[in-house]
């Protein structure tokens, strides 16, 4: 799933370690939302639909989740004009 970041809106990322599901060390998933709750909701849906987690597994994984505001430098900026001409 790919989500586009819209400028001038706060965005949050939810990062969840899924090593216990996949067996791959340090593997995690990331989801995005316009609020912390939306990022969390997206993560819960992804865990259920893609990884087949039940409610108990989702709750356990969400306890390990980190939800953070995406840094300003990650948002799209206006294209800069070429200064060589």
Report the 10 Å Cβ neighbour count for 33.
Answer: 19
pLDDT for 76 equals 56
Average of pLDDT values for 49-65?
Answer: 96
How many angstroms separate the CA atoms of 64 and 66, rounded? Answer: 7
Computed over every residue of the chain, the mean pLDDT equals 83
> Does position 85 have pLDDT exceeding 70, yes or no?
no
pLDDT band of 34, cuts 50, 70, 90: confident
Dihedral-angle region of residue 59 (phi above 0 means left; psi in -120 to 50 means alpha; beta otherwise): alpha
């Amino acid at each position: 799933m790919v989500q586009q970041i819209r400028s001038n809106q706060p965005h949050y990322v939810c990062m969840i370690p899924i090593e216990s599901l996949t067996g791959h060390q340090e593997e995690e998933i990331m989801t995005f939302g316009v609020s912390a709750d939306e990022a969390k909701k997206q993560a819960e849906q992804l865990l259920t639909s893609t990884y087949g987690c039940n409610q108990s597994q989702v709750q356990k994984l969400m306890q390990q989740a980190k939800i953070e505001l995406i840094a300003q430098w990650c948002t799209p900026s206006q294209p800069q004009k070429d200064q060589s001409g």
